[in-house]
Every structure is written in C-alpha cells, then in structure tokens.
Structure 1
C-alpha cells in the first residue's frame, strides 16, 4: 500500500508518496499558511487528496510536525509554529481525511527515515540529531519512534551542557541548554564572544577549513562540546548509530573528530556507536513521516 508523508514546516509543507520499496512516486510542496491553523489543516488535507488523485490509490498518512502531541491533552505542545500549540491536529486531520493519521515530532521523523532505509538501515537503536537553527533529536527502536511518557524522548537539546559556565539563556526559559551551544546561531554567538566577529556557522566552518585560526578555534570548541553532549546520549541510550541532520551536519570533519573525543566521557572500554551523515539529507523528515507506517508482514 502507498504511504504518504507530510512534513509540516514553518514556511513550507511538503508531501511525498512512497511505494513499498521506498521509491518516491510523487512529491508536492506548498507554502505554509501563516498564523492560520484552520488553513493549515485544509492545506495538509488538500496535499494528501491531490497525491492520491494523481496516483489513483489510497494511502496511509504520516505527518511530521514541530512540537509533539501532549499525552495529557492530545493537543500539540512545544511547537515553534505557535498557531499549532493547543490544537487537536491529529483529530482534525483524521476528520478531514476520514482515516487514522500518525503524527510524530519532525526530529523523530528524521530518525525514522534514516533508520528505515537511510544511513542507519539495519540498526536496532538509532538516535537522529538535528543541528540547525535549533537542536533536536529523535530516538528509534526497531524501526519505530520512541515518544516517551511525556512525548519528549530524544529532546537532548534542552538538557544542560556540563562543564560550561556561565550558561547562555535559551528561548525555553532555561540557561545553558545544549541548543545554545550546538545550534548554528549558538556557534555564531560563541565565535563573536571570543572576538571573532559576526559570522554565521557556515562561514566559520568554511574559513576554518581555509586555515583561519579564529574560526578553527571556534570549530574545535564546537567539536569538544558536541562530543561531550553525544557522550551523555550514548551513556543513557547506547545507540548503534547516531545520524546527524540539519545544516551543520554538512561539516564533514565532525564524523571523524567527534568520535575521536567522545570516548573520554562514555562509560565503556570501547565505543562501537557509529556517527554518520544522513543518506536522504533534507528529504529525511518527509520520508520518515511516511515510514511512521512501517512495513507489515505480507506487504
């Protein structure tokens, strides 16, 4: 049976249809209605209806969203697209489409994609990391996303980063969160604090590769912080594979330098966890939404 994945972003909504082998049968992208929840529901339903009409077949539908569904209320919480917060998105989409809909946090969808047919295919326990404007994470066990009792499994970005003082304020109201150090803006702030001037993360990484000493120092601080933050994840979850996503995942030296350092904090005589770049890149989120419906026996 076809699977349709929808990636609900702040500026765009993307939908793809996958066949049972994971081949993309159709894809469509539209702008996200701004600050308009009813229009967002209609837009998602319209994308699904349009893809099914083009392909002439019904599909199972999964949706990746910012935030998560609250276990207490059944409504969206923690979404940076604030018009979603407090809304019964799953119920409204199920009503609009007349079928069961599966919804997961967008970082969970990224992890599902890479665990299903991406870089971590075949691994039982996979941690997917988003390093971009923010820092997110998703945990997949045996191909299924682990949500947790509070629907926050994998949200390592809002843990404190040890051995960093004074901490930086985070938008969540806490101080010293991993996100404030390891996001793209966090790298830029750290560079400026050390006298390097106003540069974005991509420029810092490029200049470090070109031999700029100040940018190299910033990148080395970043590598050290990322290795310590991921070591804490390994100590708790012990994944077989960690896959990096988001804009900073394109910094190729992370894949060698971070594992070379994280063993100092991992409680083991050796670290077998692999750190890998994503196979599907920017498409992982929308593919993972489709794979919220895993393959079943007989398909």
Structure 2
C-alpha cells in the first residue's frame, strides 16, 4: 500500500493507493499557516491514522512546494515560506521512524499523469501547473527527472520568450527576485494583472472567463493573449525536451479553448516540420498531485 501526501499552502491531503492504483483512503486537513513544527506533526499524524485504519504498513511519498536542495538537504524556493531552510524530509523521517520520498508538487503531478493518467505509455511527459504559481515536472520512462541541481522542470522561472504581446511592457517582478519570469505572465494572478493593465478593470480569472463567454471583447482579448504566451513558452519546452505529451493542471488548465488553440499558436515557434506533441487535460484532475506523491515508490 502506498500513501501520498500533497503538502499545500492551505490544505494537506493524504491518499492511499493499492498496487493497482485504486484509492483506498483519502483525508484532507488545513495546513498550519506559517508553523513548520505543526506541519511536520500534521504529516506524521495523518500517516499514523491512515495506517491504523488500513491495518497494513505503507510507503510514504510527499509532494511539496519548492524542492529539497542537494547541497544542504533543506527546502528552498517554496512559496510556503515557513518550509524554506528547513530539513523537512529528515524531520518527517524522524517523526515516522522510516524513510520517506519527497518531490516537488509539479513533479508529482507529472508522475501521476505519466503512470496511469493522460500520459500513460509516453516516454517523455511534461506536466504543467497553471495556478497561483507556474511549475513544471518532467517524467522520462516513468521516472521523475530531478536533474543535476534538483531543478529539472522549473519552467516557470525562465524568462518569458519575447513577442509582440509583451513588447513595451515592464517585466513584472517575481517572488524569486527576478522579473519577467514565465510565472509572472501565465499564473492566475498574472492573468488578472494583465487584464487590469490593459483595461483598468480589476477582475478575477473566473470573472474574466465568464465575461468573455458573455461576449465581452476585452475579456476575450485577455484570454487570447494568455493563450499566445502559453503557446510560445511551451514551444521552448518542445524544442528542448520534445515530449510526446504535455499535461496541464492547476486552476487555469480549465480555461476554455486552450487545448484546441494553443497547439495552433505554438506551431510557428517549434523547430520541426512535424509536431506530434499532444496537449492534454489531466485524467486525475485535482488528485494528480497527491496520487503522484504515492507513486514516488
């Protein structure tokens, strides 16, 4: 039996999968805000309670924001900032008295979809998270690619490729300390900020989508700019990794028209006369991250 834990900024979710990938148990609790010690204690309690209910020992995988530094063994680059600088894996292992496996949440998303989701059977799968932030994960032959520096797939913190839709715009600042990162153009907050820059209207992404569907031309133009930017950014991934499948997750993955229009927009930017890469929605939806954490074993 495998346990997966998705450690989010607002909620922590646990799932138990049997050897066939069938869900046997699921639990969700609020993540202690800004409290590292309480977060470690919550993970340990969820695992112990789950094993007691299941009646069998389990493996434990954890999906986290940010990543574990191969230099220090401590967390880095997490937007849940109380994790940064902390030896999360070591502390959870000490609390449980066993080995655990840990990976970035985007890597877990990609792994889930590669193992038994939209990317099943593909040699190379690139998983994308489009939400409050923008992340990416790479799975090759069913295994997460971490890379020499532990940052493989950190697509959201590369610069947005230039294009006429961003010319003349000041690169938006990013929490990572840089400016103009892909995340600052393609995240949910970035979509809202782009609409506000262009129209002066402060609308949430879901309001922009609803108004576009009702015929609002300015909102439709905002979504069109987002599609073009996403296509251009993903074209760089195709040129580098040449994946068979790109799977989109996160709140913005459900934007209407993405899966039809983005592949048309990326065509001029891909260095090939034949493009067979498919853009897919996630088979497991919001559960992909926590399922992928379980599949780390």
Distance in 1, matches of 2:43 and 2:236, equals: 37
Once the two structures are overlaid, the 10-residue window that deviates more, 85-94 or 221-230, is 85-94
| Paired position in structure 2 for 1:296 | none
The yes-or-no answer on 1:272 pairing with 2:276 is yes
Once the two structures are overlaid, the 10-residue window that deviates more, 90-99 or 276-285, is 90-99
Aligned-pair distance for 1:137? 0.7
Cα deviation, 1:30-85, whole Å, max 9, x if unaligned, reads: 11122221221111011111111101000111000111000100111111111111
| Paired position in structure 1 for 2:92 | 93
Counterpart selection for 1:223 from 204, 211, 227 = 227
Once the two structures are overlaid, the 10-residue window that deviates more, 218-227 or 89-98, is 89-98
Counterpart selection for 2:217 from 213, 216, 227 = 213
Distance in 1, matches of 2:175 and 2:95, equals: 34
Aligned-pair distance for 1:254? 0.2
Gaps of 5+ in 1: 294-299
Equivalenced residues, count: 292
Distance in 2, matches of 1:206 and 1:153, equals: 35
| Paired position in structure 1 for 2:287 | 283
Cα deviation, 1:156-182, whole Å, max 9, x if unaligned, reads: 111111223432111211111111111
Aligned-pair distance for 1:97? 1.4
- Does structure 2 conserve the Cα–Cα contact (< 8 Å) formed by 1:3 and 1:19? yes
Cα deviation, 1:139-166, whole Å, max 9, x if unaligned, reads: 1111111111221111111111122343
Structure 1 residue matching 2:101: 3-state secondary structure: strand
Structure 2 residue matching 1:264: 3-state secondary structure: helix
Distance in 2, matches of 1:172 and 1:40, equals: 23
Cα deviation, 1:5-27, whole Å, max 9, x if unaligned, reads: 00111111110100011111011
- Does structure 2 conserve the Cα–Cα contact (< 8 Å) formed by 1:196 and 1:215? no
- TM-score, normalization: structure 1? 0.95
- Does structure 1 conserve the Cα–Cα contact (< 8 Å) formed by 2:126 and 2:137? yes
Aligned-pair distance for 1:290? 0.1
Aligned-pair distance for 1:205? 1.8
Structure 1 residue matching 2:72: 3-state secondary structure: coil
The yes-or-no answer on 1:259 pairing with 2:263 is yes
| Paired position in structure 2 for 1:136 | 135
Counterpart selection for 1:200 from 204, 211, 221 = 204
Structure 2 residue matching 1:194: 3-state secondary structure: helix
| Paired position in structure 2 for 1:118 | 117
Cα deviation, 1:207-257, whole Å, max 9, x if unaligned, reads: 222221111111111111010000001001111100000001111300000
- TM-score, normalization: structure 2? 0.96
* RMSD of aligned alpha carbons: 1.0
- Does structure 1 conserve the Cα–Cα contact (< 8 Å) formed by 2:77 and 2:176? no
The yes-or-no answer on 1:55 pairing with 2:59 is no
Aligned-pair distance for 1:196? 5.1
Distance in 2, matches of 1:172 and 1:84, equals: 15
- Does structure 2 conserve the Cα–Cα contact (< 8 Å) formed by 1:263 and 1:270? no
Moved over 4 A (4+): none
| Paired position in structure 2 for 1:22 | 21
